[in-house]
Amino acid sequence: MHDRVLQNYRGGIIPIHIPSVAEVELLDLLGVGGFGTVWKVRNPATGKLHVLKIIQAIKPDTVLVERVRLEAEVSIPSKHIVPVIGLREWDASTFLILFELFEARSLDKVLAEETLKPEQKRHIFDQILIGVADAHRSNIIHRDLKPENILVAKDNYVKLIDFGLSKFKGKGLTLTGEVMGTPPYMSPELLIYGSKIADARVDIYALGHILYELAMGYTFWAKQGWIANRFDNFVKFLGQSPQPTECIDLSDFRCDFYQNASAVLARMVKTNADDRFASVEEVIMSLTSEPSRKTIPPLPEVEESIGISFNYPLLTVESGTNRDARTLVALEPGESIVLGRADIAGNDLSISSKHLIFTRQHGRYFVNDFRSKNGTLLRGMLLSADAPPMEVQNNDRIKVGDIFLRFNSPV
């Protein structure tokens, strides 16, 4: 797969063979994590600067490998998320992911300077909300939102990083799944149940803690004197009788950039996920009544291939080995159909043999999970077979297991 040793040092030249970028030169080490390093790099052919994430020491043929590939091939249409340019699989346990360069500092460093004015804080948080909402509409849940993963440029323009890859950082396991997230931004359900149940509400919880930090200048955990990387005190806090309804004590909370921040924040950090806002759009609507600040940019239209016409909705596979495969949701009014692995993505074991169910009612289409092993996401919400189905609309993206599907209604 390569003809030389990986030159993972300043000045090293790495052939990556990503479309439009043949090789890169490593310039500056930007960060070091549990799975590798992040570098500022230059394309010698054009002089253009990028960011290269070198992920190493991953066990071959594991779910982790598939998630790395998924991160590189599934794009999130958003001006507030740093986009992926491409992926190079160096060997069975080493992956190189190239990103666009966004010259900025992380929000935690900006906050440490204590120089932000109220209008600047509001502008920053507005953009964070839009970026997360865009991701959720593509069924990407961050799971590790925190100031370190939020980049702020000199003009206070914001972009988010580590969507998808951030979920790999936690190596520990609970009894039921992977621990993903960073105290104090990790929701109670992530701590107790692990990542399998994660949907938009775990990010909304983290956003609540970020809002608190923007407003107060410190985290709620710091105010309580809790150790940042331990859960002992948080578990005791949750174990009170009666259990607190919110995971932040808001008795002395003050915010000078949203009038109703206290009420909104209280609902963002509810102990019970079912009591939180269901979507980031709801948070945006609640924080401000200005129409111009409530608008979430729509996802771009998906262009159909020339010569293809259909009278039923079409599911298009957008990731994995069966990418670009298409399946008709051939339903008459009142009918339902259950789809699974064989209908969608061949041998992808993240999809159950019977995974999701579509129903047609009065010209509208609804979808629900069919008690699958790895769940179904629509617009960032984890569907439940025990709850009513959600209406699926033209151009919606649905996530089944680790695979993304695009739903297109007949025109």
Same domain, 151 and 249: yes
> Which residue in 292, 293, 305 sits closest to 258, CA to CA?
293
Can you list the positions of beta strands (E) in 84-123? Answer: 84-91, 94-100, 105-106
Q: Which residues are catalytic?
A: 144
Q: Which of 68, 100, 132 is the last residue of a domain?
A: 100
Number of domains observed in the structure of the chain: 3
> Are residues 144 and 181 in contact, defined by beta-carbon separation less than 8 angstroms?
yes
Report the alpha-carbon distance of residue 158 to residue 153 in Å, rounded: 6
pTM: 0.77
Q: pLDDT per residue over 25-57, tens digit each?
A: 999 999 887 678 999 999 999 999 999 999 887
Same domain, 45 and 84: yes
In a domain, 250, yes or no: yes
Same domain, 265 and 129: yes
What is the structure's pLDDT at 8? Answer: 81
Report the alpha-carbon distance of residue 292 to residue 186 in Å, rounded: 31
In a domain, 6, yes or no: no
Q: pLDDT per residue over 170-222, tens digit each?
A: 333 233 345 556 888 999 988 776 655 678 999 999 999 999 999 999 999 99
In a domain, 5, yes or no: no
Residue 103: which residues within 8 A CB-CB, separation 6 or more? 153
Report the alpha-carbon distance of residue 363 to residue 361 in Å, rounded: 6
Check whether 1 has a pLDDT greater than 60: no
Hey, what long-range contacts does 173-178 have (CB within 8 A, 24 or more apart)?
A: none
**CATH number of the domain that 34 lies in?**
3.30.200.20
Same domain, 278 and 203: yes
In a domain, 24, yes or no: yes
Q: pLDDT per residue over 304-363, tens digit each?
A: 333 434 478 999 999 888 888 888 898 989 999 999 998 887 778 899 999 999 999 988
Same domain, 283 and 198: yes
Can you list the positions of beta strands (E) in 137-244? Answer: 150-152, 158-160
Same domain, 66 and 121: no
DSSP letter assigned to residue 328: E
Check whether 244 has a pLDDT greater than 60: yes
Same domain, 135 and 265: yes
**CATH number of the domain that 207 lies in?**
1.10.510.10
- Joined together, the tokens standing for residue 211 give 């809002």
Same domain, 133 and 60: no
Q: Which of 264, 294, 324 is the last residue of a domain?
A: 294
> What number is the average pLDDT over the span 360-375?
94
Q: Which of 245, 262, 294 is the last residue of a domain?
A: 294
Residue 85's domain comprises 13-100
DSSP letter assigned to residue 166: G
Same domain, 196 and 115: yes
In a domain, 304, yes or no: no
Same domain, 173 and 86: no
> What number is the average pLDDT over the span 156-171?
67
**CATH number of the domain that 337 lies in?**
2.60.200.20
Same domain, 91 and 234: no
